[in-house]
Amino acid sequence: MKQNRVGLITLLFITVAACLGVLKDFNIVDVPDNVMMATRWLLALELLAYALIRKNLTTWILVCMVLGIFIGIDYPHVAVALQPLSKGFIKLVKTIVGPILFGTLVYGIAGHSDLKQVGRMAWKSMLYFYFATTIALFIGLAAINLTHAGVGVNIENMPHNDLPKPVKDVTDESILSTLPDGVHWLYKTLAFFRNIFPENIVKSVYDAQILQIVIFSVIFGIGLAMVDEKKRKPMVDFCESLSETMFKFTNVIMYFAPIGVGAAMAYTVGHMGVDILKHLFMLVATLYMALIAFILIVLLPIALYIKLPILKFINAIKEPVSIAFATTSSDAALPKAMSAMEKFGVPRKIVSFVIPTGYSFNLDGTTLYLSLASIFVAQAAGMHLSFGEQLLIVFTLMITSKGVAAIPRASLIILIATADQFGLPTFIIAAILGIDELMDMGRTSLNVIGNCLATVVIAKWEGEYNPDSIEIKEA
């Protein structure tokens, strides 16, 4: 009863704060800034009280996200100074990635000695990934052509930022210069496959090269499965113990998640400011509408087709999605996503293969954004692209978007390279860089949702999904 009463009071405060914000933004009523500030922090106190009563990690994460927004609005300099907390949290989570992938993958392959299943999971996963990401590209293309968000944008009034510099391989550049343009795509495609193989597994772990860690672990697991039982068992037991320990390690780190997530949100609002949204509101709105459309048109029908318990699934993924949204890093959400899907009834051997592989090949939100942003740049520059030219960009992105690193704003590198290739002005990308963090929140969240759903799809396809073992706690 007490919890329900506090919940109703909290809802009332949220409603009052939202109404005051709308009245002020639309100049209906001139609400003094000090009144708005007082309302925000009364709401903050109410939310803290609610979180203390609920004693739930997800509640704390969401409350700290809201507190981060308030700090970013009212104390922007303090908010920017909080960035080390969010960076520290992401670094802490990244220490889990290498060991947890190695332990779970090797145990999943060698512990069951079913090498045929590894092959089946590989082709089934890739088929599903390419299906999902291809549709994502076309939804992004359709959305930007419907809204024409870039048409008439006054790019002169937008803040310009320095673009990240693409890392170029000197050897590749020299070889490409000797080849005719017609075979550049072939060399670049094969170069991608070359780069997924690690030359030093320690370096791959240090650089958080997820796909390289996956390749090494799969081959290591296959080799271990071929070893005599007496010699195989100690290593399999070690990998099982390592994976169990890393999942417990994840649980310990997640107690720091509300602070890291709140600091990340505060930094985003504090250094970006709210005014910049006025310049590029249509672009942000178009992206989020497209992301929602992808969920409703693609992910929801898939979930219904495989008879997924949707409410339980939402309850399972809300923590990793919240972390991905606030930190704009899929890596930060990876350990929690793997743990959540295993508790959701997906076998560990499938979770440990599908999610890490999906981080390179199934970034639905990122691929959707790339097609949308590419056409936006052309529209803002006043360039008219025919449907055939737009399709060519999409087909190029089908290749170049694969293997995008699961780190904040890595998709910008792909966007810049695509703009260069098709003669689109990159200075417009510099203009939209200011709000890229806000857009990155949505697309990273969709990446995590898509990969979590993919584990259930593959588990169902393999006939190994066990909904009776769901252990998700109610919020």
Please report whether residue 246 resides in a domain.
yes
Query: CB neighbours of 110 closer than 8 A, spacing ≥ 6?
Result: 221, 222, 224, 225, 232, 235, 236, 239
Return the CATH number at 348: 1.10.3860.10
Split at pLDDT 50, 70, 90, the class of 448 is very high
Instruction: Report CA-CA distances (Å) from 167 to 99, 345, 371.
Output: 27, 41, 22
Other residues' Cβ atoms within 10 Å of the Cβ of residue 463: 6
- Cβ proximity of 393 and 378 under 8 Å: no
Q: Is 423 helix (H, G, I), strand (E, B) or coil?
A: coil
Please report whether residue 264 resides in a domain.
yes
The per-residue pLDDT for 163 is: 55
Q: Is 6 helix (H, G, I), strand (E, B) or coil?
A: helix
**Helix ranges restricted to H, 148-228:** 170-178, 184-195, 201-206, 210-225
The residue among 260, 275, 301, 332 whose CA lies nearest residue 67 is 260
Please report whether residue 9 resides in a domain.
no
Average of pLDDT values for 341-346? 90
- Cβ proximity of 150 and 420 under 8 Å: no
Other residues' Cβ atoms within 10 Å of the Cβ of residue 390: 18
- Cβ proximity of 277 and 435 under 8 Å: yes
Average of pLDDT values for 433-441? 77
Q: What is this structure's pTM? A: 0.76
Query: CB neighbours of 342 closer than 8 A, spacing ≥ 6?
Result: 348, 351
Average of pLDDT values for 25-31? 54
Please report whether residue 18 resides in a domain.
no
How much of the chain, in percent, has pLDDT values that exceed 70? 81
Number of domains in the chain: 1
Instruction: Report CA-CA distances (Å) from 345 to 218, 336, 421, 465.
Output: 22, 15, 44, 6
Q: Which domain holds residue 140?
A: 56-469
Q: Of how many residues is the chain composed?
A: 475
Average of pLDDT values for 223-230? 87
The per-residue pLDDT for 55 is: 77
Please report whether residue 27 resides in a domain.
no
Split at pLDDT 50, 70, 90, the class of 300 is very high
Averaged pLDDT score across all residues of the chain: 80
Please report whether residue 229 resides in a domain.
yes
Please report whether residue 16 resides in a domain.
no
Which of the two residues, 25 and 250, has the higher pLDDT score? 250
Please report whether residue 273 resides in a domain.
yes
| Burial tier of 348 (Cβ tally within 10 Å: 0-12, 13-18, 19+) | buried
Which of the two residues, 427 and 307, has the higher pLDDT score? 307
Average of pLDDT values for 219-247? 88
Other residues' Cβ atoms within 10 Å of the Cβ of residue 393: 22
Rounded Cα distance between 308 and 467, Å, is: 9
pLDDT, tens digit (0-9, with 9 covering 90-100), for 352-393: 888 888 887 888 998 899 899 889 888 887 888 888 888 888
Return the minimum-mean-pLDDT range out of 11-20, 54-63, 125-134, 211-220.
Answer: 11-20
**Residue 472 DSSP class:** P
Split at pLDDT 50, 70, 90, the class of 291 is very high
